[in-house]
């Protein structure tokens, strides 16, 4: 009697840990600001695979009862027609597993939408793996091979370890994925655990029909090995995705200015050495932000940064696969157009002016930029052309200053 009570307490604790593991997995990977942790916990509690599993069992029992009524089976018919009843039960077992999988997909979809997950199939993937674990852990131990207490104790420990391994290896790697990386289609990840559930239910039921408890254990341990292989595969795939994207991000960060997102001076030097002397035509735009130092010194770098970003955004607005924008440092920017016509070069300049004018309607800062443009086609000397664009920019800067056109605060920031 005491052993039974201990087993019930242990199983209760296991279920609580199971639900908490699912909660922390969803929280770590998907919970965003504005979404309540308490609400997520209750959502997980009422959509956890164990509850769905019990509902699927009830559904299967109801279908079984209705089927017996419709076919007119009584107790004697069931005993005499044990073969047909077994076949019917196998079909109902499959229907129950189908209902279980469909219900898991539906509830995970609802949870994913509530979490505003960038990829709902990832939420379904987490739910599906926990569903596989719950199905495996629900096997009834038999004293034909091991005592009930020993088998149940082993079950609890084994599946606690399994949950821990899944959290450590898979969930932690999933949590590293940025929203952009989560746009990758994860639907193929759902195929192995989904098929696994169907196959497991069929083999488990077949083992029960045979009445061999050793066969039940074989099915469970074989299933555990397959699940461990899934974990390892998921871990390797996700880790490789993270490693690949980490390399891409490192390359991006080495080539881009952190504040503005434009290419940095290092990227400019690399492209100059590789490309700028080779194109059939080139347009060089040299920019300078007027009055940045004064803004920084008198009103602080926060407003100065707004000015820098606004200037950069005006350049972003006209870059393309032929036009590249660079922040050279401080208030200096360069834009290079390669293999474009003179008319296209002038059009880019006009669109840049329009973009800056539109951006100046937003925020506290009014940005004024000087620009020098030089265009050449055929044979040209890049360094000489760049110097000419630089001189033209300083002429433009002086002209704007004489007209009183300078970067300024449109409205004083509130204290």
Residue 324 in this model has a pLDDT that exceeds 60: yes
Residue 93's nearest CA partner among 177, 206, 187, 3 is 206
Give me the pLDDT at residue 314, please: 96
Q: Which has more pLDDT, 37 or 234?
A: 37
pLDDT tens-digit readout, 262-302: 999 999 999 998 878 678 899 999 999 999 989 988 888 88
Give the whole-angstrom CA distance, residue 77 versus residue 132: 35
Give me the pLDDT at residue 116, please: 87
Give me the pLDDT at residue 68, please: 66
For residues 306-323, average pLDDT: 94
Give me the pLDDT at residue 322, please: 92
For residues 158-174, average pLDDT: 87
Close Cβ partners of 192 (under 8 Å, ≥ 6 residues apart)? 230, 233
List the single range of 30-44, 224-238, 382-396 with lowest mean pLDDT.
224-238
Residue 98 in this model has a pLDDT that exceeds 90: no
pLDDT tens-digit readout, 28-61: 988 887 789 999 999 999 999 999 988 887 887 7
List the single range of 66-75, 168-177, 333-342, 378-387 with lowest mean pLDDT.
66-75
Q: Is 406 exposed, middle or buried (0-12, 13-18, 19+ CB in 10 A)?
A: middle
Give me the pLDDT at residue 391, please: 95
Residue 267's nearest CA partner among 214, 211, 215, 328 is 328
> Is 0.75 topped by the overall pTM?
no
DSSP H or E segment with residue 129: helix 120-137
pLDDT tens-digit readout, 332-387: 999 999 999 999 999 999 999 999 999 999 888 999 999 999 999 988 889 999 99
Give me the pLDDT at residue 143, please: 47
The beta strands (E) that lie in 187-262 are given as none
Tell me the sheet residues that pair with 35: none
- The pLDDT-based confidence of 415 (bands split at 50, 70, 90) is very low
Q: Cα-Cα-Cα-Cα dihedral of 171, 173, 174, 180, to 10°? A: 170
Sole residue written with tokens 């004489």: 402
Residue 284's nearest CA partner among 393, 406, 403, 163 is 393
Close Cβ partners of 288 (under 8 Å, ≥ 6 residues apart)? 331, 332, 333, 369, 370, 393, 394, 397
- The pLDDT-based confidence of 79 (bands split at 50, 70, 90) is very low
Contact 167, 129 (CB under 8 A): no
- The pLDDT-based confidence of 305 (bands split at 50, 70, 90) is very high
Q: What is the DSSP letter of 340?
A: -
Give the whole-angstrom CA distance, residue 235 versus residue 221: 21
Q: Which has more pLDDT, 276 or 183?
A: 276
Total number of residues shown for the chain: 415
Close Cβ partners of 145 (under 8 Å, ≥ 6 residues apart)? 151, 213, 214, 217
Contact 37, 27 (CB under 8 A): yes
Report the alpha-carbon angle 187-191-192, nearest 5: 130
Buried b (16+ CB within 10 A) or exposed e, 90-117: eebbeebbebbbebbbebbbebbeebeb
pLDDT tens-digit readout, 1-35: 567 788 788 888 988 999 999 999 999 988 887 78
Contact 359, 396 (CB under 8 A): no
Beta-carbon-side half-sphere exposure of residue 373 (alpha carbons within 13 Å): 15
Residue 209 in this model has a pLDDT that exceeds 70: no
Contact 331, 353 (CB under 8 A): no
Give me the pLDDT at residue 348, please: 96
Residue 146 in this model has a pLDDT that exceeds 60: no
Residue extents of the structural domains in the chain: 2-254, 265-409
Look over the chain and give the mean of its residue pLDDT values, rounded to a whole number.
83
Classified as helix, coil or strand, 370 is strand
Give the whole-angstrom CA distance, residue 23 versus residue 37: 9
CA distances from 139 to 132, 295, 337, 371 (A): 12, 71, 68, 75
Residue 141 in this model has a pLDDT that exceeds 60: no
Candidates 3.40.50.10090, 3.30.70.270, 3.30.930.10, 3.90.1150.10; CATH matching 265-409: 3.30.70.270
Residue 21's nearest CA partner among 156, 165, 152 is 165
Give me the pLDDT at residue 276, please: 80
Give Cα 328 distance to the centre of its chain.
33
- The pLDDT-based confidence of 392 (bands split at 50, 70, 90) is very high
Beta carbons within 10 angstroms of residue 389's beta carbon = 21
């Amino acid at each position: 009697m005491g052993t039974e009570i201990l087993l019930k307490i242990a199983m209760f604790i296991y279920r609580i840990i199971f639900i908490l593991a699912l909660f922390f997995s969803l929280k770590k990977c998907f919970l965003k600001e504005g979404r309540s942790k308490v609400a997520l916990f209750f959502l997980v509690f009422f959509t956890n695979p164990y509850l769905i599993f019990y509902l699927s069992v009830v559904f299967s029992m109801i279908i079984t009862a209705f089927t017996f009524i419709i076919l007119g089976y009584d107790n004697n018919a069931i005993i005499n027609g044990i073969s047909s009843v077994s076949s019917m039960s196998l079909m109902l077992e499959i229907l129950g597993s189908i209902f279980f999988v469909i219900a898991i997909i539906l509830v995970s979809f609802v949870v994913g939408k509530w979490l505003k997950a960038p990829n709902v199939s990832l939420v379904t993937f987490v739910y599906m793996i926990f569903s596989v674990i719950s199905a495996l852990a629900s096997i009834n131990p038999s004293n034909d091979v091991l005592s009930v207490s020993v088998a149940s104790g082993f079950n609890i420990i084994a599946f606690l370890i399994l949950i821990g391994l899944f959290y450590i290896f898979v969930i932690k790697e999933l949590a590293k994925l940025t929203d952009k990386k989560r746009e990758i289609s994860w639907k193929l990840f759902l195929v192995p655990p989904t098929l696994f559930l169907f196959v497991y239910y069929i083999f488990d039921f077949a083992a029960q029909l045979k009445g061999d408890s050793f066969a039940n254990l074989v099915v469970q341990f074989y299933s555990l090995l397959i699940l461990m292989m899934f974990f390892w595969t998921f871990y390797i795939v996700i880790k490789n995705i993270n490693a690949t994207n980490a390399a891409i991000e490192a390359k991006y960060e080495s080539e881009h200015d952190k504040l503005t997102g434009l290419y940095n001076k290092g990227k400019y030097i690399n492209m100059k050495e590789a490309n700028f002397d080779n194109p059939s035509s080139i347009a060089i735009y040299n920019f300078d932000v007027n009055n940045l130092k004064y803004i920084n010194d008198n009103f602080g770098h926060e407003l100065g940064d707004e000015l820098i970003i606004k200037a950069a955004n005006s350049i972003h607005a006209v870059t393309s696969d032929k036009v590249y924008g660079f922040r050279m440092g401080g208030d200096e920017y360069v834009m290079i157009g390669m293999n474009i016509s003179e008319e296209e070069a002038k059009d880019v300049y006009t669109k840049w002016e329009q973009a800056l004018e539109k951006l100046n309607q937003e925020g506290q800062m009014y940005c004024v930029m000087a620009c020098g443009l030089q265009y050449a086609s055929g044979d040209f000397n890049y360094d000489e052309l760049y110097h000419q664009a630089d001189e033209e920019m300083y002429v433009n800067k002086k002209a704007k200053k004489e007209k009183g056109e300078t970067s300024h605060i449109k409205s004083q920031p509130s204290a």
